Amino acid sequence: MADPASSHAQPSGATGVLVLSDGTVLWGRGFGHIGSAVGEVCFNTAMTGYQEVMTDPSYTAQIVTFTFPHIGNVGANEEDVESQVESAVGCIVREEVTRHSSFRAEREFGQWMAAHLKIGLSGIDTRALTRRIRMSGAPNAVIAHEPHGNFNLPLLLKQAQEWPGLEGMDLAQRVSREKQETWEGGRWQLGTGYSEASREARPHVVAIDYGSKDNIFRNLAHAGARVTVVPAKTTLEEVLALQPDGVFLSNGPGDPAATGAYAVPVIRDLLDRDVPIFGICLGHQLLALAAGAQTTKMFQGHRGANHPVKRLEDGIVEITSMNHGFAVDSATLPDSVEETHVSLFDGSNCGISIRGKKAFGVQYHPEASPGPQDSFYLFERFVGMLARENA
């Protein structure tokens, strides 16, 4: 492989660079945090919600390429942050970030990125990069920003090549809460912000946090649940001691098989005790593993807010928001598991239910905000099921 320092001349004014593990070097203009970070390069097709994407823990150790060219033009605010823990390390955009034009903005996107230690790179042909990912898979890379344009390309290439990648990596422990907490917030409304959750007697949901988005808990509370959030490695005994009416399995980053080493035994025991369970994204994959299925690393993954999913029970198509690089392998589903939803993009599994149990999961994000709202009913279905059991 050619030395990137000699085969890729740095253009004038370049203050940012993306170095892929195969030696490809893409020059651009850096913004946000000054420094470098390694991760997997993926792409997201959503036209809105870039701040929610950048604070979703499911993007931990990833560099997000936005296919929509105008990212950052509505600025940033603290209300749209999905989580305060680790998430995407950087983003790649086509057009230079302009001044914000939203009454909700509290600061410029670049300022927000710098404050949250995230590196941005503009001026990249994101269409070409996206096509490369679609044809060759998601590559490992280093993204770097240095205002004077001083880069050690051989060192950046070495870092990209030595990074092991997401397969086999358990990231849930890095982004999970460290201690139990009672969830207080409700859903957001323009002009009033986030409401407070009702304190009336409600079904109790214990939510296991593998790298959750806060809007999931808001929607559980809005649907009528009292929510207690617990760390990823909470034991079965600790979960049962909270006397849950149901257990929720959250989204999160990394390889579900790796996280499953400690999560699956707990979920399997909960199933044996007929505890109602609802899982989203990584939680869906962990539920499938506990039921005897397998997961697999996807070639390019699903990330965006316009993914059509067919609900098999009635043929209705839901437009969904997705963010996952691993998937449940439909061919490995045992007879005890019913496939309930499939992607209309590639036919991959997007939902399951466990026969004879009150347990189901979906691969997509019904809580997406902003995003499609076709799937909000799943929170009401889960909480309603618990309420009927308590009636």
* CA neighbours closer than 13 Å in the CB half-sphere of residue 217: 25
Question: What is the rounded CA–CA span in Å between residue 249 and residue 263?
Answer: 10
Structure tokens at 378: 């799943």
Could you tell me which residues come within 8 angstroms of residue 250 by beta carbon, excluding any fewer than 6 positions away? 207, 208, 209, 210, 211, 212, 213, 216, 280, 281, 282, 283
Please report where in the chains the tokens 């809005």 appear, as a residue: 222
How far apart CA 208 and CA 230 sit, in angstroms, is 5
Q: How many residues does the chain have?
A: 391
| Other beta carbons less than 10 A from residue 81's beta carbon | 17
Q: What angle do CA 180, 183, 189 make, to 5 degrees?
A: 155
| Active-site residue list | 281, 365, 367
Residues 6+ apart with CB under 8 A from 277: 246, 247, 248, 249, 267, 270, 271, 287, 354, 357, 358, 359, 360, 361
CA-based nearest residue to 355, from 374, 328, 342, 336: 336
Read out DSSP for 136-202?
H-PPEEEEEE-TT----HHHHHHHHHH---STT---HHHHS-SS-EE--EEEEETTTEEEEPP-SS-
Q: How far apart are CA 102 and CA 104, in angstroms?
A: 5
